[in-house]
Amino acid sequence: MIRNVFIKEITEFARDGRVKIAFSIVIVLLGIATWISSRQYNSTNQQYAVAKSAERSIWNNQGEKNPHSAAHYGTYAFKPKYPLSLIDQGVDKYAGTSIFLEAHNRNEAQFSLAADQTGLARFGDLTPDFILLFIIPLLIVLLGYNAFTKEREMRTLVLIRSLGIAPWKLILGKWTALFLPILVITIVLIVSAGIILSNLEDFGVFKWSNLGILFLVYICYYIVFVNLVLIISSKSKKSSISLVLSLAIWIIACLVVPKAASNFAEAKYPYPTRQEFSANILKDKQEGLDGHDPWNKQAKLLEQKVLKEYNVDSLHQLPFNFDAYRMQKGEEHDAEVYFKQYKYLKSQFEGQTNVYIGLAAFSPFLPARFLSMGVANTDYSTHWDFSDAAEDYRIKMQAFLNNDFAKNSSHGNWSYKAEETTWEKLPAFEYAPPQLAEILSKNSSNIIVLVTWLLGSFAFLFITIKI
């Protein structure tokens, strides 16, 4: 019986011109979006490879130079595009791709794609995740809104009821027929993306397991929509009412709740303005040791402490360059200040994330969106991770340079120049994004919410539907 219902529904879909047009549009859009995304992915990663190699070469070939000059000369930490960004670009466009690493300052990531675009970028981009998260649920609405209402309107439901089919079999037949085209589209996209990625050079090591999880996330998301649309269709008297209600659900889930969540999260856990943030950092820095200022109160205390520790009367008697030592201590203080201020930012970010998770009870879009970005390594959490890794590298880099300066020169000797070969001894910045297990663990709340939506909608569909 389920098979009969399934075949009938699929035959009707296949003969319905509207369905054919909608399906074709989605396939064409997905093809174009994947092509654009793939070109962008390739181009960005080629730029990444060139920039990374060029920057390292510039660093290695500085020639003889004072290590602190080298610290100010600085270098860049570049973030590549990770393989699954081909499907979900997440916040990559806004988050910046490179961080300038220098003495005394933790810099923000810069050169974001959005910064290079005009105001027209506000219209958004045609990306696979846009099709997957917005357009396919809309396709589900268009395919399924009249699944039951058309039977009621055509009065075929009377004959169906007289034949004694169990309601759950009819539902399952219709459910399968509605879900199958969506499953096919998703499989085609995911397999195409997998094949493209397997044949492209990538900087995050493409894994089919990650792609498989991404596929599952989207499939769960679509199942929730299929269930919701069928529930609405079964409860509505007319197709027009069912269409309006289904579209309302789509608008609320995909547009209203995410935007409302953004406003609500920002209001509840506001980020400081850039000015406030910079002022807080400056204030904290001034309360501590300034590595460049020997007359600073904390610097004087450090001087006394070191003299006492080494049991000498003069800084010149120390076995190392105290200026470099002080700068290193200043760097350590600065790092603590940045750690404290960024920790506050992170706590605000986590607060905002929790607001999103709470509001996910009103929209399956939110957990699906966060999981998709997480698995694709394009979420804000991955960006934080990259930023932290870059900061960690910056701290080690400053320690390396200050130690070289301290060890190889004496107090007051600012004319010291490190050898040409010194720079290549500093290991290059390498960053590995969080692995799948860690991502899933971090997103456990989103997984729970999405699974709750999945099971809840299934239960509601099969328990409440009467034909």
Partner 1 sequence: MITTDNLTKQYGETIVLNQLNLSIGANEIYCLLGANGAGKTTTINLLLGFIKPTSGSAFINGLCVSEDYIKTKQYLAYIPENLMLYPTLTAVENLKYFSGIGGKNLNKSQSEDFLNEAGLQKNAFNQRISTFSKGMRQKVGISIALAKDAKSLLLDEPTSGLDPKSSNEFGQLLHKLKDNGVSILMATHDLFRAKDTGTHIGIMKNGELRQEYATKDISLPELEQAYLEAMNYKELVS
Binding site for partner 1 (CB under 8 A): 1, 3-5, 7-8, 11-12, 15-16, 154-156, 158-166, 169-170
Minimum CB–partner distance for residue 5 and partner 1 (Å): 6
The CA-CA-CA angle for residues 248, 249, 255, to 5°, reads 85
Contact present, 261 and 268 (Cβ < 8 Å):
no
- What beta strand segments (E) does 54-115 contain? 75-78, 98-101, 106-110
Q: Which residue lies nearer to partner 1 by CB, 167 or 212? A: 167
C-beta of 12 vs 266, nearer to partner 1:
12
Choice between 130 and 168, CB closer to partner 1: 168
- In 405-457, DSSP assigns E strands to none
Distance between CA 149 and CA 419 in Å, rounded?
81
The rounded distance, in Å, linking the Cα atoms of 308 and 313 is 8
Q: How far is the CB of 23 from partner 1 (least distance, A)?
A: 16
Least separation in angstroms between residue 460's CB and partner 1 is: 22
Give the nearest distance from C-beta 11 to partner 1 in angstroms. Answer: 6
Residue 152 CB, nearest approach to partner 1 (Å): 11
Residue 17 or 319: which CB sits closer to partner 1?
Answer: 17
Least distance between partner 1 and beta carbon 3 (Å)? 7
Phi, psi (rounded to 5 degrees) for 294: -70, -15
Cα(155)–Cα(318) distance, rounded to whole angstroms? Answer: 97
Report the residue number, 2 or 132, with the smaller CB distance to partner 1.
Answer: 2
Q: Sign of torsion, CA 319 324 327 332? A: negative
Least distance from partner 1 to the Cβ atom of residue 157, Å: 9
Inter-residue long-range contacts of 265-269, CB under 8 Å, 24+ positions, other chains counted: 265/351, 265/352, 265/353, 265/355, 265/356, 266/352, 268/351, 268/352, 268/355, 269/348, 269/349, 269/351, 269/352, 269/355
Nearer to partner 1, 58 or 166 (CB): 166
- Residue 9 or 379: the one with the smaller Cβ distance to partner 1 is 9
d(CA 19, CA 25): 10
Q: Is the separation of the CB atoms in 151 and 237 below 8 Å?
A: no
CB of 143 to partner 1, least distance (A): 15
Judge whether 330 and 289 are in contact, CB under 8 Å: yes
| Closer residue to partner 1, CB minimum distance, 13 or 41 | 13
Q: Which is nearer to partner 1, 121 or 467 (CB)?
A: 467
Order of strands, sheet of 75-78, starting from the edge strand that comes earlier in the sequence: 75-78, 98-101, 106-110
The pair of three-digit structure tokens given for residue 452, joined into one six-digit string: 């709750």
Angle 180-185-186 from CA coordinates, rounded to 5°: 95
Alpha helices in 199-256 (DSSP H): 208-235, 239-250
Nearer to partner 1 by Cβ, of 16 and 266: the residue is: 16
Calpha distance 315→294 (Å, rounded): 12
Provide the 10 A C-beta neighbour count for residue 442. 17
Minimum distance, C-beta of residue 236 to partner 1, in the bound complex (Å): 19
For partner 1, the closer CB: 15 or 122: 15
CA–CA separation, 52 vs 60, rounded Å? 12
Closest approach of partner 1 to the CB of residue 175, in Å: 15
CB of 12 to partner 1, least distance (A): 6
Q: For residue 242, how many C-alpha atoms fall within 13 Å in the half-sphere facing its CB?
A: 26
Q: Is 47 helix (H, G, I), strand (E, B) or coil?
A: helix
The span from the first CA to the last CA of the chain, in angstroms, equals 15
